Amino acid sequence: MTRKTVLIVDDEPAIRDMLKVALEMANFDCIEAKNAHEAQIAVTDNRPDLVLLDWMMPDVTGIELLRRWRRNEDTQYLPVIMLTAKAEEENAIRGLDVGADDYISKPFSPRELASRIKALIRRSTPIVSEELLIAGELILDPVGRLASVKGQNVSLGPTEYKMLEFFMMHPNRAYTREQLLNNVWGANVYIDERTIDVHIRRLRKALSIDGYENIIQTVRGFGYRFSEEALIKSTD
């Protein structure tokens, strides 16, 4: 089972540590951010499965951050749990309806936290990943864990599969090698960036039916992009 990554956004180190300990005991990977800026970077680079967001922060309030995420297509459905100082605050924030998926007031018990997180992740992940990912006649079925081109199954190693899945969930966007590392391999891996070239090579090779290898384009000096447009050109 894939381990889920949780991003903790809070300016108090004590709180962060507390949460981190609780979450790691519950078998989650943790990333931390102490302000809105770091949080934004962590979200785009590491794509956590869930965010614990303190609502009171020195620079931007958590609410503003959350609003921004909700407007962005990529982070629109990112599960977010708001951390509030007191229960009264919770009600006030609920009233604002900023789009958080759940609220927890400090002080919180680690057990409750873990179970709410689990419930939220369980609820949110399958909805996204049960759908077929499609680009022309390239189809990836996340449920069956199968990819096919023109009805013909392609055999992919676990890494190639994950990479293709990531690309197909975010088509037409260029990613740097570092971003790919974060998203496909996960946070905190130290792997040579050239290695990605090799995996790209392997993925292209596997997809090379009727020109489908061109669907992964190289963006010179930057990284790679999964481009549906590439299909239209060669097919049409």
The gap between the terminal CA atoms of the chain, to the nearest Å, is: 40
Can residue 131 be called a binding residue for its own copies (CB under 8 A)? Answer: yes
Question: Where do runs of H (alpha helix) occur along 82-193?
Answer: 87-96, 110-129, 158-169, 177-180
Can residue 73 be called a binding residue for its own copies (CB under 8 A)? Answer: yes
The listed partner (its own copies, DNA, none) that binds 74, CB under 5 to 8 Å by sort, is none
**Burial grade of 185 (CB within 10 A; 0-12, 13-18, 19 or more):** middle
Stretch that binds DNA, among 6-14, 35-43, 45-53, 219-227 (CB under 7 A): 219-227
Contact pattern from residue 142 through residue 161 relative to DNA, giving x for each residue in contact according to CB under 7 A and a dash for the rest: -------------x-xxxx-
> How is residue 136 written in tokens?
């022309």
Can residue 71 be called a binding residue for its own copies (CB under 8 A)? Answer: no
Q: Where are the beta strands (DSSP E) in the chain?
A: 5-9, 29-33, 50-54, 80-84, 102-105, 133-135, 138-141, 146-149, 152-154, 174-176, 216-219, 223-226
By DSSP bridging, strand 146-149 and strand 138-141 are antiparallel
The listed partner (DNA, its own copies, none) that binds 126, CB under 5 to 8 Å by sort, is none
Can residue 222 be called a binding residue for its own copies (CB under 8 A)? Answer: yes
Can residue 76 be called a binding residue for its own copies (CB under 8 A)? Answer: yes
Measure Cα distances from 209 to 7, 59, 132, 151, 199 in Å: 39, 51, 20, 11, 17
Stretch that binds DNA, among 37-45, 70-78, 137-145, 215-223 (CB under 7 A): 215-223
By the 8 A CB rule, do 128 and 103 touch? no
The listed partner (DNA, its own copies, none) that binds 136, CB under 5 to 8 Å by sort, is its own copies
The listed partner (DNA, its own copies, none) that binds 195, CB under 5 to 8 Å by sort, is DNA
Measure Cα distances from 101 to 92, 115, 120, 154 in Å: 15, 14, 8, 37
Name the residues that contact DNA, by CB under 7 A: 155, 157-160, 185, 190-192, 194-195, 197-202, 204, 218-223
Name the residues that contact its own copies, by CB under 8 A: 1, 73, 76, 91, 95, 97, 101-103, 111-112, 115-116, 118-120, 122-123, 127, 130-132, 134, 136-137, 139, 141, 143-146, 148, 150-151, 153, 157-158, 172-174, 176, 178-179, 219-222, 225, 227, 229
